[in-house]
Amino acid sequence: MTELALKKNAPPASSYLLDFWRKLQKNRMGLVGLGMLLSITLAAVFAPVISPYEPSSTADVGAGDIYQPPSAEHLFGTDDAGTDIFTNFIYGSRVSLTVGFFAAFISIVVGGVLGIVAGFFGGRWENFIMRFTDIMLVIPDLPLIVVVVALTKPSLLNIIFVIGLLGWTTTARVVRSQTLAVKSRKFVLRARAIGAGRGHIIWRHVLPLVMPILVVQAVLVVSLAVLNESTLAFLGLSDPTTVSWGQMLNYAFGRGAMSTGAWWALVAPGFGIVWVVLGLTLLGQGLEQVLNPRLDTHHLMPGRPNVGKEAEVQSGATKPVLEVRNLSIDYVSQGKAPAHAIENVSFSLKEGELLGLVGESGCGKTTLMLGLLRLLPQAGQIVNGSVFFGGKNLTMLTEEEMNAVRWSGISIIFQGAMNALNPVRTVGDQIGEAIIKHMPGYPKEKIQGRITELLDLVGIAASHKDSFPHQYSGGMRQRAMIAMALACNPSVVVADEPTTALDVMVQAQILELLAELRRKLGLAVIFVTHDLGVVAEMCDRVLVMYGGVTAEYADVDTVYNDPRHPYTQELLKAFPDLTKPKKKLSSIPGYPPRLDALPPGCRFAPRCPAVFERCRTEQPAIHAIPGGAEHVASCHLVEGVK
């Protein structure tokens, strides 16, 4: 079964480099850049074939041939010596490319070796190399290059060496930090544990991961070298025996092209430089995008409009604080079928109730919570259902109306509070911000007192109010996050895995704190977690999710002692129970489904021990299970159970 899933889901096996090349082929920017470079390289190689004249040939040049405008005879016109600019332009590319590539080669080799040595061996070597690099980095390089070339002979070889030997500093830094990053990864430690020597580790593990960055860096260094060469030539420091673009500009600028209006003598060589550098820049950007694919989406992008505009009203005599009805959320991406991340989820939350939302990674629990507050990423879209809170359907509100509900009505505690708190603002300031936003009438002078009070509530001393998040320990940050969530007296608090990544004891402290606050303040809490034990300890009701759908929803005792959905049953068997230490744990074969490859029928069918034919084709509806409490499960097996 596993292999089957593998064959279907995984892309065909490919080599790492091939994969890279294939991605670059899809990157328009990179391809355009590559094309520009190839064209000019071809021109340089086949210069004698393409050019109509000999370079800088003054044979049969008469006085009348100086600064002739472009014509059929001289495509780009003639220069101050009456020679053909097109010919010089083609031959000039040879110098630019030669200097660019060879100088960059020197820089990359020197910088790469120094960077890897410093990063990998560390210690005294690293100290010496990096201090030296720092010093070289602040010394302005062009003036230094100018000075050295001016003092020596401006021959092609000298220029290559000077530009190359002074251009390695950024490469050394970039390579060093990448080497450090690679070195700290566990597979290097694993290679050491196998007994691999340093040479093997550098060659097999460090170099392959440094190489892509080195390639991007090389492209950048080539373009800098090309620019530096042309600048030198423009300043009059070029090999007089060969023609180059910078030199052409120097002659034209210094010998009357400006006053005679001979724009062609100025445009052509400059265009050549721009062509090469722009090509390199585009290629570099393209490579960068392939290496560090960024989604280019962020939290401030406008969300997608909610579909499913049924003007439903909340029914029932006792209205719960929060009621979610048939909520469905899709992830939409261009050129792909929408992924049904959440389908048809309903639950309600009574005043003071603690609802546990349990599921494995990728089951959609976080998406569901973000959907409630309409904080979905740009690709997320509510396609059906309603969220009733305070008599309003939140899916129908405008963004401004929603902003008024957020935090003052429903607040959220994110997992990993280090990233959820702004690192450059003090904790007290970030708590106060919510008060200022949602309680405009709150007396200014009392805000500081309120912040202290909130921090006290979660067990943080007032003296830490003006500290920054990084000065807190992990447990304290999570406490601060809780204090912040309580700032505007919300009626519902969503806690999204608030204790993941915390130590066992700190986790217990935070759970205790949440339980206590809930009692004290009468909060309704949705507790999102993957930990069945925590749910059993704390919650009143439990919603078990699998693959974006409700597996089972009931009160906590029913879920643990009379589970009906096979997933709930299996999950409980896989969870270690301290009271039965000798019991062998069972596991659920296979893996949770990926959102972009959901099985056609029941989403649990591929892993279900009780699977039968119907499960593979038909998605089960949510069935109520008779018996006092509200208990539902989405499984064909419970259909019609009396």
Partner 1 sequence: MNAEKILEVRGLKKYFEVGRPSLFSRKKESVHAVDDVDLTLRRSEVIALVGESGCGKSTLALLLMGLEDPTDGTILFENGDITHLNDSQRKPLRRKIQMVFQDPYESLNPTQTIEEIVTEPLKVHGLGDAADRAERVRKAMEDAGLKPAGVYLKRYPHELSGGQRQRVVIASALVLEPEVIVADEPVSMLDVSIRAEVINLLADLRVTRQIAVIFITHDLGSVGFFADRVAVMYLGRIVEIGTMLEVLEQPRHPYTKALLSVIPVPNPRLRHERIILQGETPNPINLPSGCRFHPRCPVAVEKCKVDDPALFDLSSSHRAACLLIK
Partner 2 sequence: MPDSGIALLSFREDILLNRFQNLIRRIGWAVLTIAFVIVLNFFLFRILPGDPARAGVHDPRLKKDAVEAIRVRFGLDKPVINCFDSLNPVKFGNCGVNPLETQFFIYVRNLFIGEMGFSYHTNRPVTEILAERLWNTVLLIGAGQILSVIIGVVFGIAAAWKARTNIDYGALTVSLLVWSLPTFWLGIILLFWGSANGFPIGGKATPGMSSMPLSVRWGDIAEHMILPTITYTLVYMGEYMLIMRSSLLDVLSEDYILTAKAKGLSTFQILRDHALKNAMLPLVTVIAINLGFTVAGAIQIESVFSWPGLGLSIFEAVNRRDFPVLQGAFLLIAVAVIAANLIADLTYTYLDPRVKME
Residues 592-621 close enough to bind partner 1 by CB under 8 A: 592, 607
Provide the token pair at 67.
């600064």
Closest approach of partner 2 to the CB of residue 204, in Å: 30
Residue 444 in the binding site for partner 1 (CB under 8 A): no
Residue (of 534, 566, 572, 552) closest to 630 by Cα position: 552
Residue 504 in the binding site for partner 2 (CB under 8 A): no
Residue 585 in the binding site for partner 1 (CB under 8 A): yes
Contact string 191-210 vs partner 1 (x = CB under 8 A)? xxxxxxx--x---xx--xx-
Residues near partner 2 (CB under 8 A), total: 88
Indicate the burial class of 437 (C-beta count within 10 angstroms; 0-12, 13-18, 19 or more).
middle
Residue 231 in the binding site for partner 2 (CB under 8 A): yes
Q: How distant, in Å, are the alpha carbons of 308, 397, 495 from that of 381? A: 11, 15, 22
Distance CA 351, CA 439 (A): 22
Positive or negative, the CA dihedral 433, 439, 443, 446 is negative
Pick one of 22, 204, 425, 519: the residue that binds partner 2 (CB under 8 A). Answer: 425
Residue (of 417, 423, 422, 453) closest to 435 by Cα position: 453
Task: Give the chain's count of helices (H) and strands (E).
Answer: 26, 12
Residue 67 in the binding site for partner 2 (CB under 8 A): no
Residue 7 in the binding site for partner 1 (CB under 8 A): yes
The answer to whether 241 and 154 have CB atoms below 8 angstroms apart is: no
CA R_g for the chain: 34
Phi then psi dihedrals of residue 271, to 5 deg: -60, -40
Residue 381 in the binding site for partner 2 (CB under 8 A): no
Closest approach of partner 2 to the CB of residue 5, in Å: 31
User: Please, which of residues 455-484 interact with partner 1 by CB under 8 A?
Assistant: 473, 475
Pick one of 37, 99, 146, 202: the residue that binds partner 2 (CB under 8 A). Answer: 146
Residue 579 in the binding site for partner 1 (CB under 8 A): yes
User: Please, which of residues 360-379 interact with partner 2 by CB under 8 A?
Assistant: 373, 375
Please choose, out of 143-151, 574-582, 622-630, 634-642, the segment that lies near partner 2 by the rule CB under 8 A: 143-151
Closest approach of partner 1 to the CB of residue 280, in Å: 25
User: Please, which of residues 496-555 interact with partner 1 by CB under 8 A?
Assistant: 503-509, 512, 530-534, 536-537
Cα 604 from chain centre: 30
Residue 574 in the binding site for partner 1 (CB under 8 A): yes
Indicate the burial class of 600 (C-beta count within 10 angstroms; 0-12, 13-18, 19 or more).
exposed
User: Please, which of residues 287-346 interact with partner 2 by CB under 8 A?
Assistant: 294-301
Residue 142 in the binding site for partner 2 (CB under 8 A): yes
Distance CA 5, CA 122 (A): 44
Select the binding partner of residue 27 from partner 2, partner 1, none (C-beta < 5 to 8 A, by kind): none
Residue 135 in the binding site for partner 2 (CB under 8 A): yes
Pick one of 17, 38, 461, 501: the residue that binds partner 2 (CB under 8 A). Answer: 461
Select the binding partner of residue 354 from partner 2, partner 1, none (C-beta < 5 to 8 A, by kind): none
Q: How distant, in Å, are the alpha carbons of 325, 346, 556, 624 from that of 631? A: 16, 12, 10, 6
Residue 21 in the binding site for partner 1 (CB under 8 A): no
Helices (H), 122-206: 123-138, 141-151, 156-166, 169-183, 186-194, 198-201
Closest approach of partner 2 to the CB of residue 455, in Å: 10
For residue 623, the surrounding DSSP H or E stretch is: strand 623-624
Distance CA 392, CA 506 (A): 38
Smaller CB separation from partner 1, 159 or 588: 588
Residue 629 in the binding site for partner 1 (CB under 8 A): no
Residue 509 in the binding site for partner 2 (CB under 8 A): yes
